[in-house]
Amino acid sequence: MNDKNKVEAANQGGAMEADTISKNGRSLKSHKSKRNNRLKQLALRTASMVFIAVTMLSCASQKLPPSPSTKTISVNSEPPGAKVIVNGKTINETTPCTVTIPLTYESRPPTGQWTPTGQDEYMQKIAEMNQTKFIFIKDGYVQGEEVYKPNISLKGMRPVINYSVDGVFHSFKKQTYIEDPTIRAGEATNMVTRDNPGGTALERTIIRWNFDSDPRGCRIFWRVVSSVPDQVKNTNELYLTTTPYEETRSFNILGLTYENSRDVVIEIKLTRPGYFDQVKRYNVRQAIDQMEISGFFDMVKQ
C-alpha cells in the first residue's frame, strides 16, 4: 500500500471512530434523560402519597359534632285531655303536651366484615333501641297505642337518628257501651236539650240540695265544671241564696246524659266578708245515684 492509500485509510478510521464516539455520547444522554424522568415520576408519586396520607390524618383528627342525646316532641290526641304513658312511665301532663325522649346509640359497630348485610342489621338494631311506645287513656274511650319509630342512616360508621315527624297524634275510638243496671233502659245516651225540655229521665230525677254553714248567712254560688266540654259546657258562677239552704230540684244541664255525667261535677262555693272562701265539688253521677247534694261548711276567719 502506497502512502496515499495509507493516509486515506487513516482518515476513514478516524471518521469511524469519531462517529462511534458521537453515537456513544447520544446514547449516554438518552440514558441520563430516561433516568431523570423516572426519578421525577417517583418524586411525584411520593409527594402524592404523602399528601393523601396527611389529608387522611387531618380528617381523622377532626372530631365529628356530638350526636344529640334527647329529642323533644309534641304529643296530642282527639279528643284532648288524655293521660299518656311513655315506655311504661306515666307523665304528669295530659294532651296536648310535650315529651322529651332519649336517643340511644350503640357504643360499638358490629365486629367482623363491614358488609351491606351487617350495616342493615346494625341500623335495624339502632332503630329498635330508639322506638318509643305511647299509650293514651281517656274515660269513655278505647285505650290507644302509638309507636314513634326513627329512620336510621350511617355517617361513616356512626348512626344518625332521624324522625319523619316531630310529634305523636292519637285519635280515640268511642268505647262500646256496656249496659249499666243502674241506668234506665234506653236512657244512657239521652241528652238534655232545649228542643225537648223535660224529655229525659235525668230532668225528671229530683235531687235534694242541702247546704249549711257556721256562721250562717254565707252566700252560695254554684257552677258546672265539665271534663267533656264538647258535650257539656262549663258555666259561670250562679248565685243561689244564703245559708242555710235546702231545695229539691232536677238536673237540667244542657248536654248532660247518664253516660257523661261521670265527667261532670257541680262546684259549690260559699263566701262571707271576713272569712276565707270555701269550695266543694260533687260528682253529678254520684249525686244522681244518691239523689242528694249536701254539705256543711265550717268557715274560717281571715
Across the range 217-232, mean pLDDT stands at: 92
**What residue type is 146 in one-letter code?**
E
More confident residue, 257 or 210: 210
Q: Which range (2-11, 44-53, 282-291) has the least confidence? A: 2-11
Across the range 99-120, mean pLDDT stands at: 70
**How do 167-171 and 70-78 pair as beta strands?**
parallel
Structure-block grid coordinates of residue 279: 269550695
More confident residue, 109 or 194: 194
pLDDT at 56 (0 to 100) = 47
Beta-carbon neighbour count of residue 188 at 10 Å?
Answer: 16
pLDDT at 22 (0 to 100) = 53
Query: pTM of the full predicted structure?
Result: 0.43
pLDDT at 277 (0 to 100) = 96
pLDDT at 62 (0 to 100) = 43
Average pLDDT of the chain is 79
pLDDT at 113 (0 to 100) = 54
pLDDT of 226 higher than 70 = yes
Instruction: Name the phi and psi angles at 91, rounded to 5.
Output: -90, 160
pLDDT band at 7 (very low <50, low <70, confident <90, very high): very low
Residue among 113, 74, 66 at smallest CA distance from 93: 74
Domain residue limits, the chain: 1-56, 70-171, 206-298
pLDDT at 181 (0 to 100) = 64
pLDDT at 176 (0 to 100) = 65
- Whether the Cβ atoms of residue 101 and residue 71 lie closer than 8 Å to each other: yes
Across the range 268-294, mean pLDDT stands at: 93
- Whether the Cβ atoms of residue 136 and residue 83 lie closer than 8 Å to each other: yes
Residue among 70, 160, 66 at smallest CA distance from 119: 160
